[in-house]
Amino acid sequence: MRFDTVIIGGGLAGLVAGISLQQAGHRTAIVSTGQNALHFFSGSFESMEEAPERLKTLFAGAGIRLHYSAGVRLMPLGVFREAALSLEDVSFLPDPCFADKVLILGIPGYLDFFPSFLAEGLEKQGIVCRTSMLNLPESVRESPAEIRSVTLARMFDRNWERVVQQVRLLLKDEDGVVLPQVFGLEDPSVPERIRQGIPARVVFAGTMPPSVPGIRTQLLLKRRYEVLGGTYLGGDEALEARVEGDSVRSVTTRNLDRHALEADNFILASGGFFSKGLRSNPFRVWEPVFGLDVAYDEDRNAWYNDNFAEEQPYMNYGVRTDEALHPLVEGRPLQNLYAIGSVLGATRPEFGSGGGLAIRTAFSAVDQILEAV
């Protein structure tokens, strides 16, 4: 199978690159194992200094509205973090004191949301807090062991009016309501509808993973990519590359067996250790598809900081690239391959980290591919 560009990795970086290239009329394919960091996306980007209009437009095309303004967001454990660019339903606030009195609503048997921590964090801001519980339909309460964010979001996609009714009944004199981020998995309009139905300022606070806004973002971006004609090979895994000279010719995958994916350009957006873009054993760290040069410490004792709270050196490891994001093999760049997102670790600090790194490097690779045509 032949494409203009083959992208390995279906996370934020891979999808942004894929959508951009499809929009420019390229024929692309994305090879994705399925799960990626978007499933744990907090919903906002911490390192976006400038407003990237290009990203906003791209997300808007997928039906995702981004909110840009300097402010804070309420983290699940009750602390505030600075945020610039956030999904619309993320607990983004211009300032921590968003209300005088707040009603925090938990869900019976749902342990992945922390009203006590949130209340303590808000009370520190001088906000008066009251906690209460939403009432769940009997059918869900039957199996409390399975009450997780995605299960709840699926149910609330159909029953969001009941949530609005209940909140209105529970509300006394509060001018703010905090709800868990478990709304709008398949139907992205649900958080906004809930917000409009409640006569108080509604804030959705994060939960333990999986992240409902993150999964929704992934679903919408993937849908957009496919609408634009992209070939999304989900549940597949890139295995091996055929390289001739300084160019990649093709990549084989687990599902396609002998039918290698051929392309003019390749993008490696396979993520860090968690996503298996990097692998490790007691002796080394390697990149499994192309065997790229990886920047890491040879002495394993240097991989870690024994303090959990400190920065961990291994999280900075990533593939080595030249100026143009072409990864190196034994010091020589592969001219038609680009490495983007977390597989770079902290080897290219000028592109930022996390979501910012994914987006900036994706755009950089896309621009280079389009310019060369």
Partner 1 sequence: MDPREFDVIILGGGIVGAGTLRDCAMRGLRALLIERADIATGASGRNHGLLHSGARYAVNDPESAAECIVENRILRRIASHCIDQTDGLFISLPEDDMDYQRTFVDACLKAGIGAEIIDPALARQLEPSVNPELIGAVRVPDASVDPFRLCASNMVDAKLHGAQVRLRTEVTGFIREGDTVRGVHTRSAQTGRTADYYAPVVVNACGVWGQQVAEMAGVTVGMFPSKGALLIFAHRINNMVINRCRKPSNADILVPGDTVCIIGTTSTRIPLENCHRVSVTPDEVTLLVTEGAKLTPSLSETRILRAFAGVRPLVSDDSDPSGRNISRGIVCLDHESRDGLKGFVTITGGKLTTYRLMAEMATDLVCRKLGIDKACETATTPLPGSQGRSYEEVAREIWEAPSTAQKAAAARLGDVVTRMPNPSRQDEALVCECEEVSAWEVNNAFERMGVSTLTDLRRRTRVGMGTCQGELCACRAAGLLAKAQDCAERERADLLKFMGERWKGSYPIGWGDTLREAEYTQWVYKHVLGL
- Least Å from the CB of residue 282 to partner 1: 5
Q: Which residue, 43, 41, 118, is CA-closest to 74?
A: 118
By CB under 8 A, is residue 115 in contact with partner 1?
Answer: yes
Q: Which residue from 101, 162, 249, 300 is in contact with partner 1, where contact means CB under 8 A?
A: 300
- Least Å from the CB of residue 1 to partner 1: 30
By CB under 8 A, is residue 312 in contact with partner 1?
Answer: yes
- Least Å from the CB of residue 308 to partner 1: 4
By CB under 8 A, is residue 303 in contact with partner 1?
Answer: yes
By CB under 8 A, is residue 145 in contact with partner 1?
Answer: yes
Q: Cα–Cα distance between 354 and 13 in angstroms, integer?
A: 10
By CB under 8 A, is residue 114 in contact with partner 1?
Answer: yes
By CB under 8 A, is residue 301 in contact with partner 1?
Answer: yes
Angle at CA of residue 318, ends 314 and 324, nearest 5°: 155
By CB under 8 A, is residue 373 in contact with partner 1?
Answer: no
By CB under 8 A, is residue 88 in contact with partner 1?
Answer: no
By CB under 8 A, is residue 119 in contact with partner 1?
Answer: yes
Q: What is the DSSP letter of 222?
A: H
Q: Which residue from 112, 187, 240, 262 is in contact with partner 1, where contact means CB under 8 A?
A: 112
User: Per DSSP, what are the bridge partners of residue 355?
Assistant: none
Which stretch, 62-70, 195-203, 253-261, 276-284, contacts partner 1 (CB under 8 A)? 276-284
Contact status, residue 74 vs residue 44, Cβ threshold 8 Å = no
| Of residues 90 and 233, the one with the C-beta less far from partner 1 | 90
b/e map 25-53, b = 16+ CB within 10 Å: ebebbbbbbebbbbbebbbbbbbbeeebe
Tokens of 69: 């303004």
User: Per DSSP, what are the bridge partners of residue 279?
Assistant: 286
By CB under 8 A, is residue 76 in contact with partner 1?
Answer: yes
Q: Cα–Cα distance between 192 and 88 in angstroms, integer?
A: 9
Contact status, residue 85 vs residue 67, Cβ threshold 8 Å = yes
Provide CB contacts within 8 A for 332, sequence distance 6+: 246
Element (H, E) at 301: none
Contact status, residue 28 vs residue 230, Cβ threshold 8 Å = yes
Query: In the stretch 328-357, what mask flags binding to partner 1 with x, by CB under 8 A?
Result: --------------------------x---
Angle at CA of residue 367, ends 361 and 369, nearest 5°: 105
Which stretch, 17-25, 37-45, 158-166, 365-373, contacts partner 1 (CB under 8 A)? 37-45
Q: Which residue from 315, 329, 335, 346 is in contact with partner 1, where contact means CB under 8 A?
A: 315
Instruction: List residues near partner 1 by CB under 8 A.
Output: 37, 40, 42, 46, 75-79, 81, 108-117, 119-121, 141-142, 144-145, 147, 206, 208-209, 211, 272-274, 276, 279-282, 300-301, 303-304, 306-309, 312, 314-315, 354
